[in-house]
């Protein structure tokens, strides 16, 4: 469809276009955005395919609320940590809301990531050529759960302390590497002030950085490969059937070329291909 020229543009739009053109000429931002956002999606795409994006939005919310909490939180084992959290909840304006959003957001993120993974599994979207998307996703799942573990200790009350002692003991009882992992997590042989600082830095620096990196990789694969078609898509079934037919035809041709071969019927089983190698 061609656009109709309806006269001069209004000055605001003209200014905006000129600014975008200026930036685009120097950075290629328009091409990049088009590559990232504008592409065809398969027929039958539904709300189920928005769960990954939902996980990303929840991660963004966790990052924003986490940054606000970090402005008030004090990682002090002599009661300061717990007091700072009480202060956030009872004194800071909207503090209860930000803390509540961060606390419940953690559970929401884990639930959404699991639902997203279940969708990917049921759709068979992990198969060729999306194996690396799955692997980066699996890393994201581990990191998300580790985020929950490290965040839980930060309140530094009895429940948080003992629950984390149990979790770290489970890690530490793994064969060979277990004791080392235990020492790294505790920042020594015992739980103490260094443990809280370690968990705090892992929780707010190491894991968010790793999650952001893996989301970047995950998105790169998704944009490069496009979103998969639902398992019931007629086009997908047709492609899979054509691939299977081509595989069978190739196996027949290979067998025909063998000395003393007979004329195999069209239904010649593909498994026999292995025997001809
Ligand atoms: C923080 C966690 C995660 C984020 C932010 C995320 C993000 C996304 C996004 C935005 C998509 C595009 C389609 C959609 O929105 O559903 C997607 C697709 C995909 N994700 Fe994830 N994901 C996460 C975790 C996982 C996990 C745990 C797995 C599996 C172990 C996984 C495997 C995949 C695969 C295979 C696709 C391609 C699906 C298709 O083409 O239909 N992701 N992910």
Q: What is the pLDDT along the chain (277 residues), one digit of tens a residue?
A: 566 667 777 899 999 999 999 999 999 999 999 988 888 888 889 999 999 999 999 999 999 999 999 999 999 999 999 999 999 999 999 999 999 999 999 999 999 999 999 999 999 999 989 999 999 999 999 999 999 999 999 999 999 999 999 999 999 999 999 999 999 999 999 999 999 999 999 999 999 999 999 999 999 999 999 999 888 888 888 988 999 999 999 988 888 777 666 666 666 665 555 555 5
Pocket test for ligand 1, best of 222, 225, 232, 233 (most atoms within 8 A of CB): 222
Residues with CB under 6 A from ligand 1: 49-53, 55-56, 59, 113, 116-117, 120, 123, 125-126, 130, 133-134, 137-138, 140-141, 144, 215, 218, 222, 227-228
Contacting residues for 69 by C-beta, under 8 A, at least 6 apart: 88, 98, 99, 102
Ligand 1 centroid–CA 52 distance in Å is: 5
| pLDDT the model gives residue 265 | 62
CA distances from 194 to 69, 148, 231 (A): 20, 19, 50
| pLDDT the model gives residue 261 | 65
Ligand 1 centroid–CA 232 distance in Å is: 20
- DSSP assigned state of 258: S
Q: What is the pTM of this model?
A: 0.85
Contacting residues for 215 by C-beta, under 8 A, at least 6 apart: 56, 59, 140
d(CA 10, CA 264): 73
Ligand 1 centroid–CA 222 distance in Å is: 8
CB 119 within 8 A of CB 48: yes
Which residue owns the Cα nearest ligand 1 atom 2?
140
DSSP 3-state of 189: coil
CA distances from 212 to 14, 99, 107, 217 (A): 36, 22, 19, 9
| pLDDT the model gives residue 275 | 54
| pLDDT the model gives residue 57 | 98
| pLDDT the model gives residue 2 | 63
Pocket test for ligand 1, best of 127, 218, 226, 233 (most atoms within 8 A of CB): 218
d(CA 184, CA 182): 6
Ligand 1 centroid–CA 117 distance in Å is: 7
Structural domains present in the chain: 46-225 (1.20.810.10), 234-275 (no CATH)
Ligand 1 centroid–CA 151 distance in Å is: 23
Which residue owns the Cα nearest ligand 1 atom 6?
52
| pLDDT the model gives residue 152 | 97
């Amino acid at each position: 469809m061609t656009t109709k020229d309806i006269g001069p543009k209004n000055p605001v739009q003209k200014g905006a276009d000129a600014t975008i053109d200026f930036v685009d000429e120097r950075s290629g931002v328009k091409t990049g955005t088009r590559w990232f956002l504008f592409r065809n999606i398969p027929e039958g795409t539904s709300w189920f395919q928005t769960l990954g994006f939902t996980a990303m939005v929840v991660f963004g919310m966790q990052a924003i609320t986490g940054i606000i909490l970090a402005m008030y939180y004090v990682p002090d084992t002599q009661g300061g940590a717990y007091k700072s959290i009480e202060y956030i909840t009872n004194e800071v304006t909207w503090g209860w809301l930000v803390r509540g959003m961060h606390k419940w957001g953690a559970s929401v993120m884990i639930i959404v990531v699991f639902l997203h993974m279940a969708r990917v599994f049921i759709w068979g979207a992990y198969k060729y050529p999306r194996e690396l998307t799955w692997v980066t996703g699996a890393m994201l799942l581990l990191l998300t759960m580790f985020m929950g573990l490290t965040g839980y200790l930060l309140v530094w009350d009895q429940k948080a302390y003992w629950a984390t002692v149990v979790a770290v003991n489970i890690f530490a009882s793994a064969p060979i590497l277990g004791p080392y992992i235990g020492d790294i997590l505790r920042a020594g042989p015992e739980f103490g002030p260094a443990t809280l600082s370690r968990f705090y830095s892992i929780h707010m620096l190491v894991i968010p950085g790793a999650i952001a990196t893996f989301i970047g990789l995950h998105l790169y694969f998704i944009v490069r490969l496009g979103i998969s078609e639902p398992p019931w898509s007629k086009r997908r079934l047709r492609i899979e059937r054509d691939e299977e037919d081509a595989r069978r035809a190739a196996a027949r041709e290979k067998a025909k070329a063998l000395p003393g071969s007979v004329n195999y019927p069209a239904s010649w089983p593909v498994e026999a291909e292995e025997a001809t190698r």
